[in-house]
Amino acid sequence: MAPPKGGGGGKKQATLGKFFGHPNGAKPAPSQQTKLSFATKPKDKKPTETAPVVVAKEEEEEEEVKAMPAKEDQNDDDVPTKTKKEADEDDEVKDIPAKEKKDGASISEGAKRGKKAIMDALGRMGVPQPEKVLVTDTKKRTRTAVPESKPPAKTLAANGKKDSVAVDDVEDVAPASKRPRRDRRQVIEDDEDDEIMDDAPPPAKAEVTEAVKPKSAATPKKKDTKPPKKAEKVEVEEATPETASEAEEDEDAEEEDIDDDEKPIVSAKARKTIQTVLTSKAKDPYPDWKPGEPVPYAALCKTFSLVELTTKRLIIMEHCSLFLRQVLRLTPDDLLPTVLLMINKLAPDYAGIELGIGESLIMKAIGETTGRSLAVIKQDQKEIGDLGLVAVKSRSTQPTMFKPKALTIQGVLKGLMGIATVSGNGAQGRKVDGIKKLLSAADANSTTGKVDITKDKGGPSEAKYLVRFLEGKLRLGLAERTVLVSLAQAMVAHEATQKGQVPSTADLEKGESILKTVYSELPSYDVIIPAMVKYGIMNLREHCKLRPGVPLKPMLAKPTKAITEVLDRFDGQTFTCEYKYDGERAQIHYVAKDAGEELSQSLPSATTEAGRGVASIFSRNSEDLSKKYPDILAKLHTWVKEDTKSFVLDCESVAWDVDEKKVLPFQQLMTRKKKDVKIDDVKVKVCVFAFDLLYLNGESIVEKSLRERRDLLVKSFQPVEGEFSFATSMNGQELEEIQVFLDESVKASCEGLMVKMLDGTESGYEPSKRSRNWLKIKKDYLSGIGDSLDLVVLGAYYGKGKRTSVYGAFLLACYNPISDTYETVCNIGTGFSEAVLEELHAALSETVIDRPKPFYAHSAGGQHQPDVWFEPRFVWEVKTADLTLSPRYKAGMKEGVDPSGEKGISLRFPRFIKIRDDKKPDEATSSRQVAEMYRKQESVTKSKGPAVDDDFEY
């Protein structure tokens, strides 16, 4: 019997509402839907005024019944339970375009059975069946809009069960009554992962957001959300590689590079994505060249262009891995030059080969190559600010009479090496000729004609990347560590493919770990890559070990502000304290002539005779200091015992007062000549203070405990007053003992103390890592900022008064290794003597440039601009009273120090300490270090809670 019109409709709604826990009639639709249930819904149409509310209720009822446990149902057979097979079918339905879906295909069999269960239940309770409305084709359904002010659906009155999905668990899903079109994507945020559903309905922009927010605040987290969770997991398993990549890349981009120990879940997700990409059948971005032929330089430039267009580390890694795998597959002999060009190097650091080409020479070469005048080139540079793009613009308008031979990676590396090593009379002219030769052949196979430099950042132009390489900055955001990981992934995938297997994520992880470890001990691609290609990445450790002649990147210490910090860190552990000498870090490599091994050398005659063998001395950034310290090598045999045949020694070379027999300040050491020093001309004597031994008699000992290494050090060398000594140490564990020892170190003209883990696996030597197992306490750390900063000089302001003829103040910056930029942090004008200012003026005047480099992050305000800009060449050590936020400076802006994102960190009352000749600009204090110093300040800690863990740099 049909229900009466008018009031009967309201009674019927009230009855339905009572059955589902809504005695007051229709309530808003359930706040959320499960993913799989979305897959069964048809495309919605706009709501009409005549649409009965029963339809919206029917869908709510359908979802409620599906969420009920089987034991609560009237009939077990009537309630559908989704299997994985049905979930897969639903996903297939989602992929069908809306216009192709037939009437019967829009509803799954499970949904139909759910509807039947509702009808049977209503019939048994005597509730009248709705007329025609429920029989209407589902494609023609319409929904009535539900007011936003309504409260969320309440619990079921009959059995106390909760709503089907909790708002807290899945956010940003529109109410049933307001679901927009289904042809867009929606991100559903879960507790653990970010998932993207291709066809799930997105929230309706502003309107839906307002509707959902009050529900999230009002609805407590539900207990029975397990069924939806399972559905979401199915969705993750079925996700395409593109979907997974997009979901993870935002999270992974923030983990850049910087922390060697990634969060396990991030690493696992990244490797899973890389595994999918490496095993896909998709074509490489650059077409295959003939196997065995040299790798085209254009292929590398295509990869560079793809990398330049993204900031996502995961995507950058994918591009690099795919290209390196293509090289391995087609021309494995070119893998070494390919990697060297990717990391913007011609040779290992210790070889000392750098291009160092100035802008004027490059502009001259561009002009002569393209037939444009130097004035026009300079004007373009002034307008564009990127010499690489200037080269692209100039090259694209150049007429050519014949097509030159295309550049190859081998040819480019050979040409650049020739430019870097040319010397003697007419060297400048020959350098320009070498650059012209490369630029003339650049983009030989390009078919694009005139290039729009505003599109895709100039595209994959060979000329652009050649010029940037000559400048020394590719500016891709491609860190060497990313290339290292990509190389490991490509190698693992290549080896697996050769065996007809699929690379597992476990193999990728193992390969990365092996390559990182090997490279930290033997940082030379010239040795590692040939061995890896020959023996395989899994066997690399057997063939590539620490060897004399190849300097390690030294282990570094973390700063502390109080002795109590040290005691907290080493609580329950044995540690040792050593004097921190104020000198230059040195690494001495030695091999006796009768040792049965050789001292590796990057260049002929790179080693020096030393007593009964040959030796080399390297700085902390792997520069060869052998010609700076001939006096050390001349006396080396006097403090090396006879049974010590080979070693790698970590030590500090310190200026020494022969008469007073004491340490002299660091500034005295810096007055020594840096090259071609003759022993007879040495005026400032040095004493070597050894504190660690890394290699002894053919064996690497970096994994031994510090106590064992120290014992071997004492057994292998003999002290000679004023020439060689062991670092003064003390193993006391009490605060008072450490305080007394610190005071003694200061009296001995030292900077403070080094505190190191003494026993256990954590006391091993960790190359290239700034470790928590080594802490440093300087005498001036104990008040104010915990550490001095090493900053790069970017610009200067003309002096006034007494400083009229020199620069009066300077603009300094820290280095951001992620974006490869220098971020301004302060102006400095104190701590300089008149003599120092004159020296700085003379040195800096040689590096003046017309305009700031594109990779300088600085304030755009005219009143803040320095009078002159410099090449980023000099590093200064600076002390400061404290750190503060300022809209004028850019340091740490990307580290989240300012919630508004408009202020960077600046130094208050900065004071010049000394020039750091032993540091390169990219070894300056990083922006993340500056941010951590800011967070650890007492004032910031008190106002913003505990500081973040400072395990940030290696």
Tell me: the pLDDT tens digits for 656-676? Answer: 999 888 999 887 888 888 878
Instruction: Provide the phi-psi class of 441: left if phi over 0, else alpha when psi is between -120 and 50, else beta.
Output: alpha
pLDDT digits (tens, 9 = 90+) for 274-284: 777 777 777 78
Q: What is the pLDDT of residue 94?
A: 42
124-133, 321-330, 634-643, 822-831, range with the lowest pLDDT? 124-133
Residue 695 has pLDDT above 70, yes or no: yes
Classify 312 as helix, strand or coil.
coil
At 602 the pLDDT is 57
Distance, CA of 553 to CA of 226 (rounded, Å) = 50
Check the CA dihedral 479-480-486-489 and report its sign: negative
Note the pTM of the prediction, 2 decimals: 0.64
> 70 pLDDT band (50/70/90 cuts)?
very low
Query: How high is the pLDDT of residue 795?
Result: 94
Confidence check: pLDDT of 363 > 70: yes
Domain edges within the chain = 29-237, 278-344+479-543, 351-471, 556-778, 789-944
The type of residue at 887 is P
Measured CA to CA, the distance from residue 194 to residue 869 in angstroms comes to 44
Active-site residue, from 580, 756, 776, 936: 580
Evaluate if residue 874 carries a pLDDT over 50.
yes
What is the average pLDDT value for the chain, to the nearest integer? 74
Residue 548 has pLDDT above 60, yes or no: yes
Counting residues of the chain whose pLDDT is more than 90, the rounded percentage is: 32
What confidence category does residue 713 fall into, taking pLDDT thresholds of 50, 70 and 90?
A: very high
pLDDT at 230: 38
278-344+479-543: CATH superfamily = DNA ligase, ATP-dependent, N-terminal domain (1.10.3260.10)
Lowest mean pLDDT among 19-28, 389-398, 559-568, 893-902: 19-28
Q: Look at residue 842 and tell me whether its pLDDT is greater than 60.
A: yes
CA dist., res. 656 & res. 106, Å (int) = 87
User: Coil, strand or helix: which one is 609?
Assistant: strand
Q: How confident is the model at residue 447 (pLDDT cuts 50, 70, 90)?
A: low
pLDDT over 90 at 749, yes or no: no
Rounded mean pLDDT, 687-700 = 95
pLDDT bracket for residue 95 (50, 70, 90): very low
Question: Would you say how long the chain is, in residues?
Answer: 954
DSSP 81-141: ---HHHHHHHHHHHHS-GGG--TGGGS-HHHHHHHHHHHHHHHHTTPPPPSSGGGS-GGG-
Q: Which residue has the higher pLDDT, 96 or 319?
A: 319
- Of residues 643 and 396, the one with the higher pLDDT is 643
CB atoms within 10 A of CB 475: 19
For residue 593, the model assigns a pLDDT of 86
Q: 313-330 vs 264-279: helix axis angle to the nearest 10?
A: 40
Least trusted range by pLDDT, from 78-87, 324-333, 905-914:
78-87
* Alpha carbon distance 267, 269 (integer Å): 5
Residue 771 in this model has a pLDDT that exceeds 60: yes
Enter the tokens of residue 694.
């890394």
Out of 118-132, 243-257, 464-478, 593-607, the most confident range is: 464-478
CA angle 586, 587, 593 (to 5 degrees): 135
Q: How far apart are CA 614 and CA 608, in angstroms?
A: 5
pLDDT computed for residue 524 by the predictor: 92
Half-sphere exposure of 172 (CA within 13 A, CB side): 16
183-196: average pLDDT: 37
**Do the domains spanning 278-344+479-543 and 351-471 agree at the CATH topology level?**
yes
Q: Is the pLDDT of residue 137 over 70?
A: no
Question: Tokens in use for 17?
Answer: 């509402």
d(CA 900, CA 391) in angstroms, rounded, equals: 38
Q: Does domain 789-944 have CATH number 2.40.50.140?
A: yes
pLDDT confidence tier of residue 265, bands split at 50, 70 and 90: very low
How many CA atoms lie less than 13 Å away from 140 in the CB half-sphere? Answer: 7
The DSSP H or E segment spanning 555 is none
Longest dimension (CA), the chain: 119
351-471 CATH pick, 1.10.3260.10, 3.10.105.10, 3.30.2320.20, 1.10.3720.10: 1.10.3260.10
Residue 479's pLDDT is what?
85
- Residues 304 and 320: their CA atoms lie apart, in Å, by 9
Locate tokens 């309770």: which residue?
A: 125
Question: For 86-94, which contacts have Cβ atoms below 8 Å and span 24 or more sequence positions?
Answer: 86/36, 86/110, 87/36, 87/231, 87/234, 87/238, 88/234, 88/238, 90/36, 90/39, 90/40, 91/39, 91/235, 91/238, 93/39, 93/40, 94/38, 94/39, 94/197, 94/198, 94/199, 94/200
Q: Answer for the pair 98, 43: CB distance below 8 angstroms, yes or no.
A: yes
Chosen CATH of 556-778 out of 3.30.470.30, 3.30.450.20, 2.60.320.10, 3.40.50.1580: 3.30.470.30
Is the model's pLDDT at 870 over the cut of 90? yes
Within 8 A by CB and 6+ apart from 379, the residues are none
Does residue 198 surpass a pLDDT of 80? no
Question: What is residue 718's predicted lDDT score, i.e. its pLDDT?
Answer: 94
Confidence at residue 841, expressed as pLDDT on a 0 to 100 scale: 92
457 is catalytic: no
Helix residue spans in 522-653 (DSSP H): 525-535, 540-543, 563-569, 630-639
> What's the pLDDT at 370?
85
Residue 116 pLDDT > 70: no
DSSP bridge pairs for 143: none
C-alpha span between 789 and 924 (Å, rounded): 8
Report d(CA 177, CA 316) in Å as an integer. 42
Angle of helix 462-471 versus helix 387-396 axis, rounded to 10: 150
Q: How confident is the model at residue 125 (pLDDT cuts 50, 70, 90)?
A: low
Distance between start and end Cα atoms, the chain? 80
pLDDT for 454 equals 76
Determine the residue type at 260.
D
Q: 349 falls in which pLDDT band (50, 70, 90)?
A: confident
- 9 pLDDT above the threshold of 70: no
Tell me: pLDDT of 586 over 90: yes
pLDDT at 96: 42
Residue 241 has pLDDT above 70, yes or no: no
Average pLDDT over residues 219-243: 38
